[in-house]
């Protein structure tokens, strides 16, 4: 049976590398030659640079006071802490916002402030700092000041109002600053024009972490946290910052690489009862550091779940409680929310794909727009993740929208390199939609009366700029590799490139002319375990899509793109084959 959704083209590339630079790295750092080739191909051509990358060191983190606004923010907050003043920390309901909130609230409380965390409700309050929500915060808590985390840089009007009412406002955010900035507030955002802070890619929790560090360095001694005690405190906050940073899909380079390695290593001993309960529910073995994959696919979805289904306060409380019994109870509630989230998400995905199998036309459709109702389970909180699942099946950008209260609204996720936000923005404007997001992910809401016209317009706009190259899957090998170079030592050396994730993928190697006798043992839906051979060396391999190649076409010589890992079952290195093409005649 042929799929209704033909797979995209695959573009294969090999990164060039400077062989002289790689040889120098082998000599100076004593690393295996294939690792040196990967480093050189990724731009680490000088030994000190490469050494720093291979050994992420907390001592290399930048001075937090180098961030624009830091001095002013610290002065304001230290003063508030000393007087025990009430400060509301205003966060966001995703994993980054929750982590940032936990980090800064914990530090402000430790320094003596009456810090009150506030989380908006996804459905009732919407995203970010809105006037109505802010008014409620001011009325309910009467704080002396407000510090935003992971949001606020676009909240011009709400912040004007808060300042008028006499509150001080400090914005800490990592989103792209708009042209018109909030006035009367201290702004911390490395992306602000003129901010000299050298690293621009911190997540919201990373910035909250830097602000915490600056606060403790300035005034920690007053509460018994002298210079020596600040470091373990920051190490403990780095555990949460690492989870948020991975979850927010920012590149794991620069300071993010340091924070994430430090935090993940620390999570081998989570200490806090909430993190302990969370890791155990996420099937991370006690005493073991979670991997980036564990965070992205097990831990972050749990922290996000309560905010998707209902209110994110449970996740925040889980990260901050010191009560083990309470932590267990919260972890259990979060587990239930996550199960419910998964069920709702699967239902939406199944409904959308069921319809698309009948209606999708690959030559016509350059954008997929599907709608449902809350009664059918189309709940706003899961439409974004459902859209990304559908996009991974149909290989097109996807909008999933729910019809509710006279409006049609939900989320969109792109496929490949299609600039979803840029391409949809003018259409959204024409139909007076509420619209926001970034390159790959958007949120949108249109009046029901304008929806049909919006949908036609959007589909046409995407069809007009159809470019199948944007949808192709790019497999870029870091370096060539010979079969004889695949050794346990190489696997160990390559481990120094971890943690892998956004901006730092697992090294992908090109192994040319491996012969395959055509035999293999099926694993999973389309996978095969097999043995490949090159230069007389036999290599164990697993290929998760090699089962798609008909047996008659298998025996022969292949060029293979593969990751290398230690096969826990075999106890020796094995290839994970991502792609195999008949060998090019040499
Ligand atoms: Mn964020």
Note the pLDDT tens digit of each residue in 49-100.
Answer: 999 999 999 999 999 999 999 999 999 999 999 999 999 999 999 999 999 9
Q: How far is CA 227 from CA 79, 80, 219, 500, in A?
A: 20, 21, 10, 32
Distance of CA 205 from the midpoint of ligand 1 (Å):
7
Distance of CA 442 from the midpoint of ligand 1 (Å):
14
Mean pLDDT of 541-551: 92
pLDDT confidence of 164, banded at 50, 70, 90? very high
Distance of CA 174 from the midpoint of ligand 1 (Å):
7
Distance of CA 460 from the midpoint of ligand 1 (Å):
32
Q: Residues 6 or more apart from 232 whose CB is under 8 A from it?
A: none
What pLDDT, on a 0 to 100 scale, did the predictor assign at position 125? 81
Q: What is the DSSP letter of 269?
A: S
Distance of CA 96 from the midpoint of ligand 1 (Å):
5
Looking only at the bridges linking them, the beta strands covering 114-118 and 86-90 are parallel
Distance of CA 349 from the midpoint of ligand 1 (Å):
25
User: What is the distance between the alpha carbons of residues 78 and 97, in angstroms, rounded to a whole number?
Assistant: 23
DSSP assignment of 176-208, as one string? PP-SSPPSSSEEE-TTSTT---S-----HHHHH
Distance of CA 172 from the midpoint of ligand 1 (Å):
11
Distance of CA 242 from the midpoint of ligand 1 (Å):
12
Distance of CA 207 from the midpoint of ligand 1 (Å):
10
What pLDDT, on a 0 to 100 scale, did the predictor assign at position 1? 43
pLDDT higher than 70, residue 146: yes
| CA angle, 130 then 301 then 155, to 5° | 15
Distance of CA 11 from the midpoint of ligand 1 (Å):
31
Order of strands, sheet of 114-118, starting from the edge strand that comes earlier in the sequence? 114-118, 86-90, 145-149, 168-172, 186-188
Listed residue (540, 528, 555, 529) closest to 486, CA to CA = 540
Q: Regarding predicted confidence, which is higher, 456 or 2?
A: 456
Distance of CA 99 from the midpoint of ligand 1 (Å):
10
Distance of CA 224 from the midpoint of ligand 1 (Å):
32
User: What is the distance between the alpha carbons of residues 104 and 111, in angstroms, rounded to a whole number?
Assistant: 11
Looking only at the bridges linking them, the beta strands covering 556-567 and 572-582 are antiparallel
Enumerate the H helices of 57-177 as residue ranges: 70-82, 95-110, 131-141, 156-164
Distance of CA 209 from the midpoint of ligand 1 (Å):
13
Pick from 112-126, 256-270, 364-378: least confident: 112-126
Distance of CA 189 from the midpoint of ligand 1 (Å):
12
Mean pLDDT of 229-234: 96
pLDDT digits (tens, 9 = 90+) for 349-397: 999 999 999 999 999 999 999 999 999 999 999 999 999 999 999 999 9
Distance of CA 204 from the midpoint of ligand 1 (Å):
5
Distance of CA 293 from the midpoint of ligand 1 (Å):
19
Distance of CA 128 from the midpoint of ligand 1 (Å):
11
Q: What is the DSSP letter of 367?
A: S
Distance of CA 303 from the midpoint of ligand 1 (Å):
14
pLDDT digits (tens, 9 = 90+) for 289-311: 999 999 999 999 999 999 998 88
Mean pLDDT of 272-295: 96
Q: What angle separates helix 47-54 from helix 33-41, to the nearest 10 degrees? A: 100
Q: What angle separates helix 300-309 from helix 380-394, to the nearest 10 degrees? A: 130
pLDDT digits (tens, 9 = 90+) for 490-506: 999 999 999 999 999 99
Distance of CA 193 from the midpoint of ligand 1 (Å):
19
What CATH number does domain 360-471 carry, 3.30.990.10, 3.60.40.10, 1.10.10.10, 3.10.310.30? 3.10.310.30
CATH hierarchy code of domain 60-266: 3.90.1640.30
3-class SS string, 37-69: HHHHHCCCCCHHHHHHHHCCCHHHCCCHHHCCC
Q: In the chain, what's the furthest Cα-to-Cα distance?
A: 79
Q: Residues 6 or more apart from 52 whose CB is under 8 A from it?
A: 60
Q: Percentage of the chain surpassing pLDDT 90? A: 93
What pLDDT, on a 0 to 100 scale, did the predictor assign at position 296? 96
Q: What are the backbone dihedrals phi and psi of residue 517, each rounded to the nearest 5 degrees, phi first?
A: -80, 0
Listed residue (83, 322, 101) closest to 212, CA to CA = 101
Distance of CA 409 from the midpoint of ligand 1 (Å):
22
Listed residue (305, 303, 301, 295) closest to 319, CA to CA = 303
Q: What are the backbone dihedrals phi and psi of residue 458, each rounded to the nearest 5 degrees, phi first?
A: -65, -45
What CATH number does domain 10-55+474-582 carry, 1.10.287.110, 3.40.120.10, 1.20.120.80, 2.40.50.460? 2.40.50.460
- Average pLDDT of the chain is 95
Distance of CA 12 from the midpoint of ligand 1 (Å):
32
Mean pLDDT of 429-451: 93
Distance of CA 307 from the midpoint of ligand 1 (Å):
15
Q: Where in the chain is the domain with CATH 3.10.310.30?
A: 360-471
Q: Where in the chain is the domain with CATH 2.40.50.460?
A: 10-55+474-582
Mean pLDDT of 157-178: 96
pLDDT digits (tens, 9 = 90+) for 308-362: 988 899 999 999 999 999 999 999 999 999 999 999 999 999 999 999 999 999 9
What pLDDT, on a 0 to 100 scale, did the predictor assign at position 176? 87
């Amino acid at each position: 049976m042929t799929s209704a959704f033909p797979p995209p083209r695959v573009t294969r590339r090999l990164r060039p590398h400077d062989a002289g630079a790689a040889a120098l790295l082998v000599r100076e750092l004593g690393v295996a030659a294939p690792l040196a080739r990967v480093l050189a191909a990724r731009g680490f051509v000088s030994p000190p640079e490469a050494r720093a990358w291979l050994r992420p060191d907390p001592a290399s983190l930048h001075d937090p006071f180098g961030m624009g606004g830091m001095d002013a923010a610290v002065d304001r907050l230290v003063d508030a802490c000393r007087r025990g003043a009430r400060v509301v920390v205003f966060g966001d309901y995703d994993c980054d916002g929750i982590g940032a909130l936990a980090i800064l609230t914990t530090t402000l409380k430790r320094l003596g402030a009456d810090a009150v965390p506030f989380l908006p409700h996804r459905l009732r309050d919407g995203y970010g700092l809105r006037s109505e929500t802010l008014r409620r915060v001011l009325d309910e808590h009467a704080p002396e000041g407000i510090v935003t985390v992971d949001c606020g840089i676009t909240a011009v009007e709400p912040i004007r109002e808060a300042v008028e009412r006499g509150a001080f406002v400090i914005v800490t955010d990592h989103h792209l600053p708009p042209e018109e900035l909030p006035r009367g507030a201290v702004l911390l955002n490395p992306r602000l024009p003129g901010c000299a802070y050298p690293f621009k890619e911190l997540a919201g929790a990373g910035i909250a972490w830097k602000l915490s560090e600056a606060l403790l360095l300035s005034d920690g001694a007053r509460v018994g946290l002298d210079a020596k005690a600040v470091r373990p405190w920051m190490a403990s906050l780095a555990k949460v910052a690492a989870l948020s940073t991975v979850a927010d899909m920012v590149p794991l380079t620069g300071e993010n690489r340091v924070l994430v390695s430090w935090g993940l290593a620390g999570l081998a001993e989570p200490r806090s009862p909430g993190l302990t309960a969370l890791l155990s529910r996420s099937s991370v073995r006690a005493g073991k550091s979670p991997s980036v994959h564990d965070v992205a696919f097990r831990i972050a979805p749990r922290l996000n779940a309560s905010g998707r289904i209902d209110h994110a306060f449970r996740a925040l409380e889980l990260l901050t409680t010191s009560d083990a019994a309470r932590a267990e109870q919260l972890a259990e509630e979060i587990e239930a929310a996550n199960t419910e989230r998964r069920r709702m998400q699967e239902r939406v995905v199944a409904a959308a794909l069921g319809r698309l199998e009948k209606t999708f036309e690959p030559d016509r459709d350059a954008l997929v727009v599907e709608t449902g109702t809350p009664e059918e389970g189309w709940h706003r909180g899961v439409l974004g993740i459902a859209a990304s699942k559908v996009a991974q099946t149909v290989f097109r950008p996807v909008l999933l929208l729910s019809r509710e209260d006279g409006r049609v609204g939900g989320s969109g996720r792109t496929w490949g390199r299609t600039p979803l936000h840029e391409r949809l923005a003018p259409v959204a404007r024409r139909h007076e939609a509420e619209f926001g997001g970034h390159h790959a992910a958007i949120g949108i809401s249109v009046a029901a009366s304008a929806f049909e016209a919006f949908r036609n317009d959007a589909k046409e706009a995407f069809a007009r700029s159809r470019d199948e190259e944007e949808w192709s899957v790019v497999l870029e090998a870091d370096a060539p590799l010979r079969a004889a170079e695949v050794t346990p030592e190489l696997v160990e050396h390559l481990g120094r490139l971890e943690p892998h994730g956004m901006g730092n993928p697992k090294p992908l190697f090109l192994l040319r002319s491996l012969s395959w006798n055509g035999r293999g043992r099926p694993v999973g839906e389309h996978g095969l375990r097999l043995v490949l051979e090159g230069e007389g060396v036999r290599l164990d391999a697993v290929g998760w899509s090699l089962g798609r190649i008909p047996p008659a076409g298998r025996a022969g010589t292949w060029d293979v793109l593969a990751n290398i890992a230690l096969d826990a079952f075999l106890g020796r290195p094995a290839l994970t084959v991502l792609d195999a093409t008949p060998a090019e005649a040499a």
